[in-house]
Amino acid sequence: MLLVNQIRENYSGVLTGLQKRNFPHVETVLKTVIDLDDLRKHYQFQKDDFKAEGNSISREIGQLMKEGKKEVSDVIKVRSADIKERIKRYEEYNIKAEADLKALLYTIPNVPHISVPAGKTADDNEVVLENGVIPTLHADKLPHWDLIKKYDIIDFDLGVKITGAGFPVYKGKGARLQRALINFFLDEALAQGYYEIQPPILVNEDSGYGTGQLPDKEGQMYFADADKLYLIPTGEVPITNIYRDVILSESDLPIKNVGHSPCFRREAGSWGAHVRGLNRLHQFDKVEIVQITHPDKSYETLESMSSYVQGLLQKLELPYRVLRLCGGDMGFTSALTYDMEVFSAGQERWLEVSSVSNFETYQSNRLKLRFRGEDKKIQLAHSLNGSALALPRIVAAILENNQTPDGINMPKVLHRYLGFDMIS
């Protein structure tokens, strides 16, 4: 959530940034924010003014009672009662103005970093770099949805029987490949100084608001109505919410957490060949990295997290590219996002497998995630997260890129986790 002072003190910068996102009616919205804040301040001033007058009258009444001037005191008490009623009224006005302001701020996305390119769709994203060699496959190459049937390692029909579309069943070497990737990703993160967390996979409404899934993404999350809990769309939500309403010490920073979790996304309205097979699921596994940093170091941290994810893709021997997302394709809460895409040779297309984002103070303002500096001043921390990595499209690319007429070779880095080097 944006800070009102951020809008007041850098109005033109906020305006330009939100225009880059194609945020509708931006000038009207920002003006309304300032007007509501002015109104809130006015009500607060009036309330405080009447409180001061009421306190003065209370002291005067006390003095009159000591002096035995009850009749004069009773006259003044009438004014005191009127003041109390005004204080109550302005308190109600103030609460309403604060609620309206907060509700409006919740609808405004984060301001993009200056390096974010303008644009409306994924076609306008900027390719930062490409790495690796796109494999040349044999003439009878198959997409992964045919490969998994051929080798009987993932069963979509069985998933439909048990649950519904988008909930595959992993079997035999397919299940072992899942487990191998999870353990590989976790071990790599631990070696880089991340602290492992196994979070809950259901969260309350406060957690959804804290990291920005609410009120923006209600339609994308599964909701357990009886208990008012949401199934997590990503491990970022519970892991980052560990620090909700927390004041850290500057010496605690940076905080580096990693966690594996299943993720659940309704993905309403997703249809077509581009979401076939493992390309888009309602349930999938992901290893998430989260960092809480000093504001002065968050963009340095973002670059290091991007490099770390790239290192995983290099070890898996997957050709990839890094995109800087344009304003129109960025997530609601992000100030700058890098997407990592791998080339899946069976489909002959790029597949997104990771997003690494800096949220600056957008999440921490909602979370009230702060730290006390060496000067004893308290300020908002910066939060970042990244997929390291999401499994389905990684599995799709591994299967497609490494297929041979005799079977599917597994990346060497996974052999010790798998206990086999080929699916055949």
**Binding-site residue set:** 234, 265-267, 288, 352-355, 385
Using CB atoms within 10 Å of the CB of residue 308, give its burial: 0 to 12 exposed, 13 to 18 middle, 19+ buried. Answer: middle
Dist. CA 45–CA 82, nearest whole Å: 17
Residue 145 corresponds to which tokens in the numbers above?
């949805």
Cis bond before residue 135 (omega within 30° of 0): no
Beta carbons within 8 Å of 47's beta carbon, 6+ residues apart: 87, 90, 91, 94
- Which run of H or E residues covers position 397? helix 391-401
Tell how far CA 356 is from the center of its chain.
10
Residue 243 corresponds to which tokens in the numbers above?
């620090």
- Closest C-alpha among 180, 390, 387, 130 to residue 281: 390
Dist. CA 255–CA 243, nearest whole Å: 10
Scored b (16 or more CB within 10 A) or e, 139-149 reads eebbbbbebbe
Residues annotated in the binding site for ATP, as ranges?
265-267, 352-355
Strands 195-196 vs 255-264: parallel, antiparallel or unpaired: parallel
Dist. CA 369–CA 29, nearest whole Å: 26
Dist. CA 391–CA 280, nearest whole Å: 11
Residue 254 near residue 304, CB atoms below 8 Å: no
Residues annotated in the binding site for L-serine, as ranges?
234, 265, 288, 385
Dist. CA 376–CA 47, nearest whole Å: 31
Helices (H), 114-163: 144-151, 156-162
Beta carbons within 8 Å of 386's beta carbon, 6+ residues apart: 288, 289, 305, 306, 308, 309, 354, 355, 356, 357
Dist. CA 147–CA 166, nearest whole Å: 17
Dist. CA 220–CA 233, nearest whole Å: 8
Q: Is 219 helix (H, G, I), strand (E, B) or coil?
A: helix
Tracing tokens 């080339």 back to the chain, one arrives at 343
Helix 11-20 and helix 26-66: axis angle, to 10°? 140
